[in-house]
Amino acid sequence: MNPDTVVHIGTEALRMVLWLSLPILIVALLVGVAISLFQAVTQIQEMTLTFVPKIIAVFGSMIVAAPWMTETMVTFTRQLIESIPGLLR
């Protein structure tokens, strides 16, 4: 196995992590912006107000995206395991 192969596998793994975390991060961002706008409009400056809705939204998005995330991770892992014989040459 040469260094280019290791870099390629590492790059693909990082890309997979970013791809899997993207929906959850987008939901957290959108909920955070919505709550910030709500706080700005109503002039409620409670710091703890942002945590509960954001946690609920992130947890809900994880439940919704779990089948896709699992399928994507299994596919990546299967491809990585199937490529082991070619990597050892």
pLDDT tens digit at each of 89 positions of the chain? 788 888 999 999 999 999 999 999 999 999 999 999 998 898 888 878 888 999 999 999 999 999 999 999 999 999 999 998 888 87
Measured in Å, how far apart are the chain's first and last C-alpha atoms?
Answer: 7
Residue ranges covered by each domain of the chain: 3-87
State the pLDDT at residue 2.
84
| Cα–Cα distance for residue pair 66/83, rounded to 1 Å | 26
